[in-house]
């Protein structure tokens, strides 16, 4: 009987690789763990986790011999790490391999919003270019002041990309970091007041919920653009929608939302947003690397070796 459980909607290639390496039990989400026979649950020592359904103490208690939860993704806010610590369960994630893709998308969202690329594309495909002439003038993005909310692995890669666009880099983080001369702000309101563009690169979870508050959004001002590639929970979504509808900020580029994929319908009526379906790491190369790192962590645990990317 297998000692590995895999939770989530894995791609065909990742499903096949998990099957080949571990012959695991596959279930769709956390709620399905309780449906497994007791003898199967007793055997599980390693869990491959993918998804956003909460996995906490009650689910862990259904797997009394669980020793590791290997998360597919850098964000592990769906996993109750405190509950895992209390039960002696290690948690891993898949950092670094997705930094480039997420940073690329953050920059693309900023440029697409500032240069109104979606509206300009519609101008061409609708025939307006030929019938009505040139599209309206857009906004220059390079040379502006960029604020990074959360200068972790991904935030730093985003900052480096924006610096290449001759941008002045500002940031806020839990503490001041060693940087190539970037400007630290102790609080996000000060940061937002100073910059033209605010890029949110925080980890998810209760500690960062609504970190980009109504006050932060107001401080960004009517020419400001907000980009979020972190988690929908990190931004006060109601305040953001109010600001976008009223023109209190110029626009937003968003890859993440509350209650995704069933996002607030108010977003769908806006013409000053660029919306993406939470696809920051969604390239073939990166998803393959994420799956491999998840499996490598499971293999390391089963072999009694040090975990490659432990969280706790």
DSSP string spanning 116-127? THHHHHHHHHTT
Looking at residue 62, what DSSP letter applies?
A: T
Q: Kindly compute the dihedral angle of the four CA atoms of residues 148, 215, 230, 155, in this order, to the nearest 10 degrees.
A: 10
Whether 31 is covered by a domain: the verdict is yes
pLDDT tens per residue, range 209-252: 999 999 999 999 999 999 999 999 999 999 999 999 999 999 99
Mean pLDDT on 32-57: 95
Classify burial at 132, counting beta carbons within 10 Å of its beta carbon; exposed 0-12, middle 13-18, buried 19 or more. exposed
Whether 141 is covered by a domain: the verdict is yes
pLDDT at 256 > cutoff 90: yes
7 contact partners, CB below 8 Å, separation of at least 6: 27, 28, 29, 30, 32, 33, 47, 48, 49, 50, 51, 55
What is residue 64's predicted lDDT score, i.e. its pLDDT? 97
Whether 180 is covered by a domain: the verdict is yes
278 is known as an active-site residue: yes
CATH assignment of the domain containing 111? 3.40.50.720
What is residue 2's predicted lDDT score, i.e. its pLDDT? 82
Please tell me the distance from the alpha carbon of residue 129 to that of residue 132, in angstroms, as a whole number. 6
Let me know whether 50 and 91 are in one domain.
yes
21 contact partners, CB below 8 Å, separation of at least 6: 295, 298, 299
Report yes or no: 287 and 280 within 8 Å, Cβ to Cβ.
Answer: no
Q: What domain count does the chain have?
A: 2
Strands (E), the chain: 4-7, 25-27, 46-49, 68-71, 90-92, 145-149, 168-172, 183-185, 197-200, 225-228, 251-254, 273-275
116 is known as an active-site residue: no
Let me know whether 31 and 51 are in one domain.
yes
Statement: the pTM of the whole predicted model exceeds 0.85: yes
Look-up of token digits 């940073």: 103
Phi, psi of 219 (to 5 degrees): -65, -25
Let me know whether 24 and 127 are in one domain.
no
Let me know whether 9 and 118 are in one domain.
no
Catalytic residue among 231, 237, 287, 295: 231
| Mean pLDDT score of the chain | 97
Q: How far is CA 211 from CA 69, 76, 86, 133, 277, in A?
A: 27, 18, 27, 43, 22
Confidence of residue 52 (pLDDT cuts 50, 70, 90): confident
Let me know whether 161 and 49 are in one domain.
no
266 is known as an active-site residue: no
Report yes or no: 201 and 152 within 8 Å, Cβ to Cβ.
Answer: yes
What is residue 1's predicted lDDT score, i.e. its pLDDT? 57
Whether 76 is covered by a domain: the verdict is yes
Let me know whether 83 and 149 are in one domain.
no
Whether 225 is covered by a domain: the verdict is yes
pLDDT tens per residue, range 161-214: 999 999 999 999 999 999 999 999 999 999 999 999 999 999 998 999 999 999
Let me know whether 209 and 291 are in one domain.
no
Mean pLDDT on 8-28: 96
Q: How far is CA 202 from CA 57, 152, 156, 271, 275, in A?
A: 25, 8, 11, 26, 19
Let me know whether 107 and 248 are in one domain.
yes
Long-range pairs for 124-129: beta carbons < 8 A, 24 or more residues apart: none
Let me know whether 86 and 109 are in one domain.
no
Mean pLDDT on 111-116: 98
Let me know whether 215 and 83 are in one domain.
no
Catalytic residue among 53, 139, 153, 278: 278
Q: How far is CA 54 from CA 147, 172, 213, in A?
A: 31, 28, 24
Report yes or no: 23 and 5 within 8 Å, Cβ to Cβ.
Answer: no
Let me know whether 129 and 236 are in one domain.
yes
Task: HSE, CB side, 13 Å, CA atoms: give it for residue 191.
Answer: 28
Per-residue tokens: 303: 């072999």
Let me know whether 245 and 177 are in one domain.
yes
Domain that holds residue 251: 99-275
Mean pLDDT on 273-287: 96
Catalytic residue among 21, 168, 176, 260: 260
Mean pLDDT on 149-154: 96
Mean pLDDT on 102-122: 98
Mean pLDDT on 254-265: 96
42 contact partners, CB below 8 Å, separation of at least 6: 64, 65
């Amino acid at each position: 009987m297998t000692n590995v459980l895999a939770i989530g909607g894995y791609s065909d290639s990742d499903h096949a690789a998990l099957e080949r390496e571990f012959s695991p039990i596959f279930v769709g989400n956390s709620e399905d763990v309780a449906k497994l026979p007791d003898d199967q649950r007793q055997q599980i020592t390693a869990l491959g986790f993918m998804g956003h359904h909460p996995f906490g103490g009650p689910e862990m208690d259904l797997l009394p011999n669980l020793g590791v939860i290997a998360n597919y993704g850098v964000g592990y806010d769906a996993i109750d790490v405190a509950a895992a610590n209390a039960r002696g369960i290690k948690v891993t994630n898949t950092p670094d391999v997705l930094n480039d893709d997420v940073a690329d998308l953050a920059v693309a969202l900023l440029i697409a919003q500032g240069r109104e690329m979606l509206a300009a594309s519609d101008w061409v495909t609708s025939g307006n270019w030929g019938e009505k002439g040139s599209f309206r003038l857009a906004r220059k993005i390079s040379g502006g002041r960029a604020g990074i909310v959360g200068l972790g692995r991904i935030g730093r890669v985003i900052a480096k990309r924006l610096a290449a666009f001759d941008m002045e880099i500002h940031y806020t983080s839990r503490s001041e970091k060693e940087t190539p001369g970037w400007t630290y702000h102790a609080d996000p309101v000060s940061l937002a007041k100073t910059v033209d563009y605010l890029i949110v690169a925080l980890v998810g979870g209760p500690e960062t919920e609504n970190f980009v508050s109504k006050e932060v959004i107001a401080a960004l001002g009517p020419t400001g653009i907000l980009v979020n590639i972190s988690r929908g929970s990190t931004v006060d979504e109601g305040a953001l929608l109010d600001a976008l509808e009223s023109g209190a900020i110029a626009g937003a580029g968003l890859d993440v939302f509350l209650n995704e994929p069933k996002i607030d319908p108010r977003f769908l009526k806006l013409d000053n947003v660029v919306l993406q379906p939470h696809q920051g790491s969604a390239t073939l190369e990166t998803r393959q690397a994420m799956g491999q790192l998840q499996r490598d962590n499971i293999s390391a645990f089963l072999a009694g070796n040090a975990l490659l990317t432990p969280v706790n």
